[in-house]
Amino acid sequence: MGKSFVKGAAILTLAGVLGKMLGALYRIPFNRIAGEEAASLYGLVYPVYSILLALSTAGIPLAVSKLIAEQEKKGDTAASRRIFFVTLTVLVVIGVACAFSLYFASDWIAANWLHEPRAALSLKAIAPALLFTCLMSTMRGYFQGLQQMIPTAVSQVVEQFVRVGTIFVMLYVFIDSSVTYIAAGASLGAAVGGCASFLVLLAIFIWFQRKHPWSKGKSELNLSSGQIMKKVVALAIPISIGALVLPIMQLIDSFMIIPRLMAGGMEQEQALVQSGYISSYANPIINLPFIITTALSASLVPAVAEALTGNDLAKIKKDFRTAMLLAVIIVFPAAVGLCTLAEPICILLYNKAAAGVALAWVSFTVIAVGLYQTSSGCLQGMGKVYIPMASLIIGALVKIILTYVLTPISFLGLRGAALGTVIGFGIAALCNIIALSKIIGFDWFDLKRHFLKPAVSVIVMAAVVLGVYALTDGLGNSLATLAAIMAGGCVYFIVLIAIGGIEADEISTLPKIGKPLAKFVTKILKK
């Protein structure tokens, strides 16, 4: 069972990393080909897809899998069948209702919430994805409850490849059309990818049922259909919180940035482009470091839960101390590096220097969200699942207030929205950390190791990055940027190791790359 769990977790992690990488990297050629206006229009509705993706890969499948796993352990396959069909029926009804509601309300939502009527067609294109999300979520949960992780992993990869493939096919078809059709074609990718993923899962499900048919006996599960769904919802909401941090942040921006920029005197088309600099240019870049912090957070949950079972508070504190140290040494250089080289990176990736301002100001979100995710993982492992939700609500409210107040100020503009994001989710992380520290004690925090030493390393790194970029600028932006990134990364870790900011045994706890990296560091230290 242990080996099966580890293998299953590794399969899902690999699929998740591949999906996130593809989901972030395709935006580079798409933005270059589609142009900033079409990319910005697509960026307005993209958070809707992000939320659907989070629900279909995180909350609902894990909730369903937990209930089915409990019944399978008892040998009651009839109960598993009942949970599956009750959940599927209810979610299909919800999915159909939501899909039709979004489709027919798209014109009103585009005009009144997104403040961009041209986004209506994109919302209509994405509407069918609501139904496929519900279908996929239930099937993925069923297979995961049986410890069968490959169907979920395959469906995730298929969904991303088909979605991205559809985006570029539609881009080719509508390249000479208006930006409305280009954005809608890209949005259609979510529905086509979801449909393909569902068909793959359905084929696997039919094959699996022929080999492992359900018991025809009577279920011993003494729960009504309503009680089953109540359990699914109660489990799905807190599990989904960590996965919904970024989509919620992006959705708030979709609703608020354009009208608040217009309130400051900006024309609508210019406001759309400015909004797109965050949603379509900066956000795909800052999403990349979260691949590591998400894996780090996920690895904390079972480790802390196991320690809690043995009432081992000292181990929980040690695990959290190490996880926070690893999070800090990842997010500090990522944020500072993106801020320092914001404009060169945007030129390198998108050939769009103007997007550099957005990336520079929103880059420190990496620190806020990374620390929020890590602390949430520990809290969820301890069973304190509603604390991260409360923290996120507080952070979102702060972000809404700051975005509303700061964005119309002429000398801030887009910077105000970015600042609202950083401060809002910084407060969410702080609420998490304070709540957790009250439980395990505040002595997990070491000022030198968790802040001062990483800060010194980052300052040296920033100086080297600027110096290398200035020295190699004559070679062209692409080579200068890549040289600065590589030099900065090497110097950061050399300085961090030299001043005792991290040790080999701590590096070994990093997901996947930890052990080989720890061996490499040990050899360097010996020399």
Extents of the domains making up the chain: 1-222, 242-445, 446-527
Quote the CA–CA distance of 43 and 54 in Å, as a whole number: 17
CA nearest to 274, candidates 182, 352, 381, 328:
352
Q: 179 near 33, Cβ under 8 Å?
A: no
Q: 282 near 414, Cβ under 8 Å?
A: no
Q: Is 213 in a helix, a strand, or coil? A: coil
DSSP string, 356-387: HHHHHHHTTHHHHHHHHHHHHHHHHHTT-THH
Quote the CA–CA distance of 484 and 337 in Å, as a whole number: 9
Measure Cα distances from 507 to 57, 302, 454, 504, 520 in Å. 28, 19, 14, 5, 10
- The helix or strand, by DSSP H or E, that contains position 433, with its residue range, turns out to be helix 414-440
Quote the CA–CA distance of 159 and 112 in Å, as a whole number: 31
Phi, psi dihedrals of residue 75, rounded to the nearest 5°: 80, 15
- The helix or strand, by DSSP H or E, that contains position 90, with its residue range, turns out to be helix 77-112
Quote the CA–CA distance of 252 and 225 in Å, as a whole number: 34
Quote the CA–CA distance of 329 and 128 in Å, as a whole number: 41
Per-residue pLDDT, 311? 77
Angle of CA points 369, 371, 373, to nearest 5°: 65
Per-residue pLDDT, 30? 92
Q: Is 446 in a helix, a strand, or coil? A: coil
Per-residue pLDDT, 6? 44
CB atoms inside a 10 Å sphere around CB 331: 25
Per-residue pLDDT, 294? 73
Q: Whose structure tokens read 């608020």?
A: 256
Task: Please list, in sequence order, all residues whose beta carbon lies within 8 angstroms of the beta carbon of residue 141, skipping any fewer than 6 positions away.
Answer: 60, 61, 62, 63, 64, 65, 68, 87
Ranges of residues in the chain with a pLDDT under 50 are: 1-6, 8-9, 511
Quote the CA–CA distance of 401 and 278 in Å, as a whole number: 18
Per-residue pLDDT, 1? 38
Q: Whose structure tokens read 């608040």?
A: 260
Q: Is 267 in a helix, a strand, or coil? A: coil
- The helix or strand, by DSSP H or E, that contains position 225, with its residue range, turns out to be helix 225-263
Quote the CA–CA distance of 253 and 283 in Å, as a whole number: 11
How is residue 286 written in tokens?
């800052």
CA nearest to 144, candidates 293, 7, 40:
7
Identity of residue 275 = S
Quote the CA–CA distance of 290 and 283 in Å, as a whole number: 11
Task: Please list, in sequence order, all residues whose beta carbon lies within 8 angstroms of the beta carbon of residue 264, skipping any fewer than 6 positions away.
Answer: 407, 408, 409, 410, 413
Phi, psi dihedrals of residue 121, rounded to the nearest 5°: -65, -35
Q: Whose structure tokens read 């396959």?
A: 77
Per-residue pLDDT, 400? 94
